[in-house]
């Protein structure tokens, strides 16, 4: 800035603030010397615009800032409180809504915005505090009622050089910018907790830590229900059930931090908890975009760091264990290059398929960026499409029933930095367009989509619909699909005529019957295998919880008792009597009502190995990943169960926890470590 002093004087400046030591008064110009121009600028700006909202909250951390801020904003808004949020997603309030160029903007602009919010009688403002903003003193001159620390992982090392400097930039908020007796909200399970706790003791601040048994607010259980999740909270001595209509277990942590911040904003906890089920996904943060007729999903997320990408993939793997997960991402140019191969390695371990594309290449060669990413990818099928719009469109076109596509890196962004230009580009817009085109060739009937996909048929008559699968032509009713099973004694192909007379929609056959419209017959090599495959895919594509019952005696009785009991509280599908063999089990799976919460199946045997064969119809969780080091944490011989049931004894210092990550950072805990 010193290079522009002459220009400033020429344009009329009479006061120059500089870190250079010079005479105080020269040629009618007053020179003010300071050791930190940025700090004085911020302090001066917030003095000039001295009207500010009473309750200021700052949230910092590598990941989760926007989510915590937005959830806080939603909670207060749902409780009819005037509130605003300022950060990556811009300024959001009832009257003022602006896009911002940075997460933490320059202090002059911020001071002006806070003054405007105050003039609209908005007293509650939550803002994201970036490490750049804190390091460059953009928030000095403000005093926050509450400060929130979400987590710390690798990011912005091109600027901070190392993690120590990066952490110190974040901690500046708590050491210097929180009011006396102010609040600090964080997570007891993160590695940085001890340092934060020490600061709160030294500064006499109130500490609210998640996973601390001393808190009045505790999560005592958690479960998933399709795309939603539910949890139980212990509040003082009462227990409350809460539904959260959000994807990703990490959202629970973000919501809890927002709950505590809202409680410290003088809103009753019961009022807060009553509104949690109404929370909506944050723009570009674990956000499901659109609706695809074959029950595949597209998740949009801002994940652009190794830890964020890992968190996304592991959260999806935990919530949807049977699904195939495809990840589409790239890395930004002219930024931290060290993270590229790490993100490639994470994608390689925790996804089933990778699509590499451009992010914001800026002035760097996009091909070189993708080459850096690929250094971390081993033995994994990679599709490389440089054009991001084409990559997203291709990925959605190829989605099979039940698949999940994670589009990572840009989230809410509306531009793409290519060379020295910023062009308009929205992941969301491309996704919605691709979904619209995909749905043209899909049926509203999921079973038809599954049959088409398995048979590799591009088109079926739009008039066709499917209800149930049958292998006995005498049981066929209107709009059923008949599977012509060829057995030792009977050949189902001989009964195709009868099935169509009974108004079957389709028949799966070994041999086409020329008497009927060939478009209503699907020829396959093995009809039983085809039935088994469509049943597996259908099961993977629905959220119904399947309960299988086997044993020598009592199977049918227990199935009926359990089904009738669950039917009192929920919707249930029960397999018919004797449908318990290699024919009956896939039929029962395919005939489940996809809206039912439970499906109860009986599994029997009439020969050696039959149970093993039928059990293969279960969800293919595809979760066998090799172990990788747990960030060098010393677990001293404990067992880290992490996310999957496989366990590996952890070695001191170099612990090999499966699936290989620091469990504490992403909300999956090592159950045998006492943490």
Report residue 487: phi and psi, to 5°: -105, -170
Residue 573 has pLDDT above 60, yes or no: yes
Q: Which two tokens stand for residue 487?
A: 């057995």
* pLDDT at residue number 644: 30
User: Which pairs with CB-CB distance under 8 Å and at least 24 residues apart come from 575-580?
Assistant: 575/599, 575/600, 575/601, 575/602, 580/555, 580/604
Say if residues 221 and 232 touch (Cβ distance below 8 Å).
yes
Report which secondary-structure segment, H or E, holds 328: strand 325-329
Q: HEC states along 470-489? A: ECCHHHCCCCCEEECCECCC
Q: What is the dihedral of CA 264, 268, 273, 274, to 10 degrees?
A: -150
* pLDDT at residue number 462: 74
- Residue 322, SS3? coil
For CA atoms 495, 497, 499, 504, give the dihedral sign.
positive
pLDDT band at residue 403 under the 50/70/90 scheme: very high
DSSP 653-670: TT---SS-S-GGGTT---
Say if residues 545 and 597 touch (Cβ distance below 8 Å).
yes
pLDDT digits (tens, 9 = 90+) for 20-48: 988 899 999 999 999 999 999 999 999 99
* pLDDT at residue number 516: 64
Which has more pLDDT, 629 or 581? 581
pLDDT digits (tens, 9 = 90+) for 119-153: 999 999 999 999 999 999 999 999 999 999 999 88
* pLDDT at residue number 658: 40
Say if residues 60 and 196 touch (Cβ distance below 8 Å).
no
User: In angstroms, rounded to a whole number, what is the distance separating the alpha carbons of residues 514 and 494?
Assistant: 12
Residue 252 has pLDDT above 50, yes or no: yes
Residue 448 has pLDDT above 70, yes or no: yes
The predicted model scores a pTM of: 0.86
* pLDDT at residue number 240: 87
Which has more pLDDT, 526 or 625? 526
pLDDT digits (tens, 9 = 90+) for 525-561: 999 999 999 999 999 999 999 999 999 899 999 999 9
Q: HEC states along 638-650? A: CECCCCCCCCCEC
Which residues, including other chains, have CB under 8 Å from residue 283's CB and lie 6 or more apart?
A: 70, 89, 411, 412
**What's the average model confidence in pLDDT over 394-398?**
97
* pLDDT at residue number 315: 96
pLDDT digits (tens, 9 = 90+) for 64-90: 899 999 999 999 999 999 999 999 999
Bridge partner list, 589: none
For 478: left if phi > 0, alpha if psi spans -120 to 50, otherwise beta; the answer is beta
* pLDDT at residue number 612: 79
* pLDDT at residue number 672: 38
Report residue 288: phi and psi, to 5°: -80, 125
Say if residues 406 and 284 touch (Cβ distance below 8 Å).
no
* pLDDT at residue number 515: 67
Q: HEC states along 268-311? A: CHHHHHCCHHHCCCCCCCCEECCCCCCCCEEEEECCCCHHHHHH
Q: Which two tokens stand for residue 214?
A: 């001393």
Residue 675 has pLDDT above 80, yes or no: no
Percent of the chain having pLDDT more than 90?
Answer: 76
Average pLDDT, the chain: 88
Nearest to 182 by CA among 155, 142, 215, 241: 142
**Least confident span in 177-181, 216-220, 332-336, 358-362:** 216-220
Report which secondary-structure segment, H or E, holds 522: strand 521-523
For CA atoms 213, 218, 223, 227, give the dihedral sign.
negative
Angle between helices 339-350 and 306-319 (to 10 degrees): 10
- CB-count exposure of residue 400 (10 Å: 0-12, 13-18, 19+): middle
- DSSP label at residue 626: -
Nearest to 286 by CA among 307, 304, 303, 267: 303
User: In angstroms, rounded to a whole number, what is the distance separating the alpha carbons of residues 244 and 252?
Assistant: 8
Report which secondary-structure segment, H or E, holds 56: strand 55-60
Q: Which single residue is written with the structure tokens 């919707």?
A: 571
**Least confident span in 174-183, 447-456, 491-500, 645-654:** 645-654
Angle between helices 388-397 and 427-440 (to 10 degrees): 30
Angle between helices 527-541 and 446-455 (to 10 degrees): 130
CA distances from 204 to 129, 174, 257 (A): 22, 11, 20
Which has more pLDDT, 675 or 116? 116
Sheet holding 29-33, edge to edge: 15-18, 29-33, 25-26
* pLDDT at residue number 7: 97
* pLDDT at residue number 517: 65
* pLDDT at residue number 542: 94
**What's the average model confidence in pLDDT over 465-478?**
95
* pLDDT at residue number 322: 87
Which has more pLDDT, 624 or 17? 17
The H helix count followed by the E strand count for the chain is: 21, 28
Bridge partner list, 404: 297, 325
pLDDT digits (tens, 9 = 90+) for 261-317: 999 999 999 999 999 999 999 999 999 999 999 999 999 999 999 999 999 999 999
Nearest to 189 by CA among 166, 212, 155, 159: 212
Residue 634 has pLDDT above 70, yes or no: no
**Least confident span in 30-39, 180-189, 578-587, 635-644:** 635-644
* pLDDT at residue number 664: 38
Nearest to 431 by CA among 410, 447, 451: 410
* pLDDT at residue number 618: 55
* pLDDT at residue number 648: 34
* pLDDT at residue number 156: 75
- DSSP label at residue 3: G
* pLDDT at residue number 621: 44
**What's the average model confidence in pLDDT over 359-380?**
93
**What's the average model confidence in pLDDT over 166-170?**
91
CA distances from 216 to 196, 265, 349, 350, 501 (A): 20, 17, 38, 36, 67
Distance of CA 526 to the CA centre of its chain: 39
* pLDDT at residue number 490: 87
DSSP 212-245: -TTSSEEEEEEEEETTEEEEEEEETTEEEEEEE-
User: In angstroms, rounded to a whole number, what is the distance separating the alpha carbons of residues 675 and 670?
Assistant: 7
Which has more pLDDT, 603 or 664? 603
CA distances from 173 to 2, 167, 273 (A): 28, 11, 28
SS3 content of the chain, % helix, strand, coil (to 5): 35, 20, 45
Which has more pLDDT, 590 or 614? 590
**What's the average model confidence in pLDDT over 7-24?**
94
Q: What is the largest CA-CA distance in the chain?
A: 110
* End-to-end Cα spacing for the chain: 50
Distance of CA 652 to the CA centre of its chain: 32
pLDDT band at residue 104 under the 50/70/90 scheme: confident
**What's the average model confidence in pLDDT over 607-613?**
78
- DSSP label at residue 576: P
């Amino acid at each position: 800035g010193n290079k522009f002093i002459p220009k400033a004087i020429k344009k009329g400046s009479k006061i120059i603030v500089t870190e250079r030591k010079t005479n105080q008064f020269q040629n009618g110009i007053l020179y003010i010397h300071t050791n930190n121009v940025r700090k004085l600028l911020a302090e001066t700006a917030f003095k000039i615009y001295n009207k500010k909202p009473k309750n200021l909250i700052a949230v910092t951390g590598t990941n989760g800032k926007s989510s915590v801020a937005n959830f806080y904003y939603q909670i207060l808004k749902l409780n009819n409180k005037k509130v605003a949020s300022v950060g990556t997603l811009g300024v959001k309030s009832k009257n003022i809504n602006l896009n911002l160029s940075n997460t933490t903007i320059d202090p002059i602009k911020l001071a002006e915005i806070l003054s405007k919010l105050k003039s609209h009688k908005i007293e509650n403002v939550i803002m994201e505090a970036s490490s750049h903003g804190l390091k460059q003193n953009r928030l000095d001159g403000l005093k926050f009622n509450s400060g929130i620390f979400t987590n710390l992982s690798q990011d912005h090392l091109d600027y901070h050089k190392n993690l120590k400097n990066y952490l110190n930039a974040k901690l500046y908020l708590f050491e210097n910018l929180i009011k006396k007796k102010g609040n600090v909200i964080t997570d007891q399970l993160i590695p940085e907790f001890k340092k934060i706790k020490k600061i709160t003791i030294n500064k006499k601040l109130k500490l609210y830590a998640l996973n601390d048994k001393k808190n009045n607010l505790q999560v005592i259980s958690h479960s998933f229900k399709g795309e939603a999740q539910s949890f139980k909270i212990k509040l003082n001595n009462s227990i409350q059930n809460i539904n959260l209509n959000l994807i990703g277990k990490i959202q629970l942590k973000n919501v809890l931090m927002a709950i505590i911040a809202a409680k410290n904003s003088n809103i009753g906890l019961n009022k807060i908890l009553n509104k949690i089920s109404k929370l909506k996904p944050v723009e570009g943060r674990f956000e499901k975009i659109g609706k695809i007729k074959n029950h595949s999903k597209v998740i949009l997320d801002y994940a652009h760091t190794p830890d964020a990408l890992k968190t996304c993939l592991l959260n999806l793997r935990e919530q949807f264990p049977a699904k195939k997960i495809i990840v589409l991402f790239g890395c930004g140019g002219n930024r931290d290059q060290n993270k590229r191969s790490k993100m490639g390695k994470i994608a390689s371990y925790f996804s089933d398929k990778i699509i590499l594309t451009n992010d914001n290449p800026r002035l760097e060669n996009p091909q070189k960026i993708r080459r850096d990413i690929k250094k971390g990818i081993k033995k994994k099928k990679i599709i490389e499409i440089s054009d991001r719009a084409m990559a997203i469109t291709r990925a959605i076109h190829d989605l099979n029933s039940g698949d999940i596509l994670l589009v990572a890196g840009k989230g809410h962004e509306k531009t793409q930095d290519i060379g020295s230009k910023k062009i308009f580009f929205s992941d969301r817009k491309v996704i919605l367009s691709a979904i619209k085109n995909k749905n043209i060739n899909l049926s509203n009937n999921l079973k038809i989509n599954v049959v088409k996909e398995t048979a590799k048929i591009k088109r079926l008559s739009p008039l066709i619909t499917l209800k149930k699968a049958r292998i006995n032509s005498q049981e066929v009713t209107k709009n059923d699909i008949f599977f012509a099973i060829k057995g030792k004694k009977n050949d189902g192909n001989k009964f195709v005529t009868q099935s169509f007379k009974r108004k079957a929609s389709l028949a799966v056959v070994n041999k086409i019957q020329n008497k009927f419209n060939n478009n209503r017959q699907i020829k396959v090599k093995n009809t039983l295998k085809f039935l088994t495959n469509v049943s597996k895919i259908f099961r993977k594509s629905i959220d119904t919880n399947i309960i299988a019952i086997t044993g020598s005696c009592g199977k049918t009785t227990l199935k009926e008792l359990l089904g009738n009991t669950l039917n009192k509280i929920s919707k249930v599908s029960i397999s018919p009597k004797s449908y318990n063999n290699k024919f009956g089990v896939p039929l029962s799976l395919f005939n489940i009502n996809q809206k039912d919460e439970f499906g109860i199946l009986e599994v029997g045997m009439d020969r050696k190995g039959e149970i093993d064969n039928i059990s293969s119809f279960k969800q293919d969780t595809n979760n066998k990943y090799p172990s990788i080091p747990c960030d060098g944490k010393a677990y001293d011989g404990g067992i880290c169960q992490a996310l999957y049931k496989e366990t590996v004894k952890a070695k001191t210092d170099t612990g090999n926890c499966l699936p290989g990550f620091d469990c504490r950072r992403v909300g999956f805990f090592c159950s045998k470590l006492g943490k």
